Structure 1
Amino acid sequence: MNYKLNNIPERPAKPRQKGLTMVMDKGLSLRQVEDFIDVAGVHTDIVKLGWATSYVTPNLKEKLALYRSAGIPTYFGGTLFEAFAIRNQFDDYRRVLEEFGMEYAEVSDGSMDIEHDKKCDFIRKLSEQVTVISEVGSKDAAKIFAPYKWIALMKAEIEAGSWKVIAEAREGGNVGIYRGTGEVREGLVDEILTQIPEETIIWEAPQKEQQVWFIKLIGTNVNLGNIAPAEVIPLETIRLGLRGDTFDYFLNK
């Protein structure tokens, strides 16, 4: 940090298991990636190349190399996995991961229906090759799961080999763990936390109000995902009590 302030919450050093900031790259150019790393790389734990943008992204290997040189892991969005899975090209997907030197992969079923046993089998197989992040929840706002189902799905995927499970919200933060207005489904989150260790969950929280809510509920070192590149520095100030939303929240803790 640039100067000393007392009563600032502690942040674990990278690489860390909790307090993760997962950034959504929806198509940054190489120059934009360089600028992003220069400004916010130190506060970024992992970058997702959103949904299947990697399929059409120019200079993909060069982009991945930039992140790699900065020590920031990357992975392709779960929709890309689903695009391969629905076409019965799972082995091709594994070869793509190898070709591009990917060390992480996301397994999701937000856009297609997959029997959960089969999804867990995908997780088990991929976890032999890479670190797996799986996602629970649908991108369809009409599909609302009861809390017990979220818990059962998360438990099974962790047991199958997922390093972290993502609580779905999409890039807009208006499905899954949120209502259509972006409001947190508080009862759902509370129920999940009674059974699933908070450090194993990445809560998608693209909106500032959602980030503030989770930081106040769980603490500075909650795992948050789908953060826009330009919002990494603002999020870090919220984590540290240096923005109005959490300004006095950590002073006496």
Structure 2
Amino acid sequence: MEKTLSPAWPKALCDPSGRRQAKPRDKGCTMVIDKGLGLGAFADLLDTSGDYIDIVKFGFGTSPLYPLHILREKIELALRHGMTVIPGGTLLETAVKLDLVPAFFHQVTSVGFNGIEVSDGTISLDREQRNELIKEGVALGLRVFTEYGKKIFGSRINVKDFAETAEQDLLCGADLVTVEARESGRGVGLFDERGDCREGDLNVILNVMPNLNRVLWEAPLKEQQVALIKSLGPDVHLGNIPVQDVIALETMRRGLRSDTFELQRTVAVDYMI
């Protein structure tokens, strides 16, 4: 028997806010952290949530631990879905420590990554080294995402230093500057030991940073995502999103969850999502 296709949902129900861009987008990007998904699970993720993922980060130093053909297949799948795919910043930090930066860049481009993360969450990078890594990535045609902050529990954001670092990173060619929060989202950067947003720190950053549209906030926990969406709007860039939370985050960006219901328009109008 021939199957009958279900009618599409009304556009206003898909995005009651009327604000979400389709991919490729430069507002409200979502970066997902993949901590070791198998090929089948990764393909399922992209089939169900691919429209809402802009950046996939293979977390920490996981990339070299995959069988090479699996790594390449995962990267190719993500690229076909219009995503930027990057290895975790810890891998580049390891390459710096072991004096293997040229080999790192060679392998990154060989296996198909189209972006990298430049960070110093565990090691120390002076400004000159940081500039060189950013510029090398850009010269190779990679999108470069830098990261600000240390991974040490209890570390805070020095707003003046953050603003200066971000400005220099962007001048060197970085696409976005990420605020460190680790995968836990607790006791690092913008979030206290319970994972609550340090509202005072956030308000200072909002008043000092001139390029907030170039900042990506790591926010792995739901309440952190809610706080940032309410403070900066649904077009805030958010990262380190667990793979199982991608669609849930998208509902909050669109006003399809009670936490951000106020984002909805009051009158349904005809618009494209």
Which category of TM-score, normalised to the shorter sequence, fits these structures? over 0.9
- Runs of 4+ in structure 1 off by over 3 angstroms are 249-253
**Residue equivalent to 1:197:** 211
Q: TM-score, normalised by structure 2?
A: 0.88
- 1:145-189, Cα deviation, whole Å (9 max, x unpaired): 421111111111111211100000001111112112111122222
Name the counterpart of 1:35.
Answer: 44
Give the counterpart of 1:179 among 188, 192, 208: 192
Distance 1:74 1:173, change over 3 A: same
Note if contact 2:156-2:190 (Cα within 8 Å) is conserved in structure 1.
no
Q: Tell me the residue number matched to 1:2.
A: 9
Q: CA deviation at 1:252?
A: 5.3
Distance 2:210 2:238 in 1: 16
Structure 1: state its 5+ residue gaps.
none
Q: Within the alignment, does 1:155 sit opposite 2:164 as a pair?
A: no
Decide which structure has the larger Cα Rg and report it: 2
Q: Secondary structure of the residue that 2:262 maps to in structure 1?
A: coil
The reply to whether residue 79 of structure 1 matches residue 93 of structure 2 is: no
Q: Is the Cα–Cα contact under 8 Å of residues 148 and 180 in structure 2 kept in the other structure?
A: yes
Please give the alpha-carbon distance, in whole angstroms, between the structure 2 residues aligned to 1:117 and 1:185.
Answer: 31
1:70-99 deviation digits (Å, cap 9, x = unpaired): 222211010011010111111111101121
Paired position in structure 2 for 1:222 = 236
Equivalences for 1:34-113 in 2 at 5 Å? 34-58=43-67, 59-113=70-124
Deviation of 1:116 (Å): 2.5
**Matched-pair contact (CA < 8 Å) for 1:136–1:150:** yes
Which segments of 5 or more consecutive residues in structure 2 lack a partner in the other structure? Answer: 1-7, 268-273
Q: Name the CA distance, whole Å, in 2 between partners of 1:75 and 1:127.
A: 13
Distance 1:143 1:132 in 2: 24
Instruction: Tell me the C-alpha RMSD between the 2 structures.
Output: 1.7
In the alignment, is the contact (CA less than 8 A) between 1:110 and 1:138 conserved in 2? yes
Quote how far apart the aligned CAs of 1:28 are: 0.6
Kindly state the Cα deviation for residue 43 of structure 1 after the two structures are TM-superposed: 0.9
Larger deviation: 105-114 or 63-72? Answer: 63-72
Deviations 1:44-91 (A, max 9, x none): 111000011111123111111121222222110100110101111111
CA distance in 1, matches of 2:245, 2:210: 27
| Distance in structure 1 (CA, Å) of the matches to 2:36 and 2:118 | 21
Aligned residues with identical type, % of pairs: 36
Q: Deviations over 1:100-149 (max 9, x none)?
A: 12211110000111112321221122211111100000101243342111
CA contact (8 A) 1:79 1:108 kept: yes
What is the count of residue pairs matched by the alignment? 253
SS in 1 for 2:12: coil
The answer to whether the 8 A contact 1:9-1:220 is kept is: no
| TM-score normalised by length of structure 1 | 0.94
CA distance in 2, matches of 1:78, 1:196: 25
Q: Is the partner of 1:48 in helix, strand or coil?
A: strand
In 1: Cα distance, 2:84 partner to 2:25 partner: 12
Whole-angstrom CA distance in 2 between matches of 1:229 and 1:15: 20
